[in-house]
């Protein structure tokens, strides 16, 4: 069983805000025994309201980033600097 720590919380939230899902983070770290499983992360979300809030904020940041990327792609398509099949 893994211990909930501020360091792991920060690592998880950074990963989410940079575009990774919790599943992707856990899959990438499954060989790293110091990283908790997805089921442990889900338990932590239920047990620690501050962790849940920080993960929700990280997801908002992820969505903002995705929205900006989409806008950049649309702009390039409209300018003709990106081919539709590439977009």
Average pLDDT, rounded, for the chain: 89
Nearest by Cα to 17 from 52, 61, 53: 61
Please indicate whether residue 80 or residue 31 has the higher confidence score (pLDDT). Answer: 80
In whole angstroms, give the CA distance from residue 27 to residue 37.
8
pLDDT value at 52 more than 70: yes
Q: What is the DSSP letter of 35?
A: S
Summarize the confidence of residues 44-60 as an average pLDDT. 96
Residue with tokens 């990283």: 35
User: Exposed/middle/buried for 2, CB within 10 Å: 0-12, 13-18, 19+?
Assistant: middle
Summarize the confidence of residues 30-47 as an average pLDDT. 85
In whole angstroms, give the CA distance from residue 63 to residue 67.
6
């Amino acid at each position: 069983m893994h211990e909930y720590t501020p360091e792991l919380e920060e690592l998880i939230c950074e990963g989410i805000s940079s575009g990774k899902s919790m599943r992707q983070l856990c899959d990438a770290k499954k060989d790293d025994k110091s990283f908790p499983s997805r089921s442990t992360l889900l338990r932590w979300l239920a047990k620690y309201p501050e962790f849940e809030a920080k993960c929700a904020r990280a997801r908002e940041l992820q969505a903002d980033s995705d929205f900006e990327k989409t806008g950049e792609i649309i702009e390039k398509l409209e300018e003709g600097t990106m081919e539709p099949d590439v977009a």
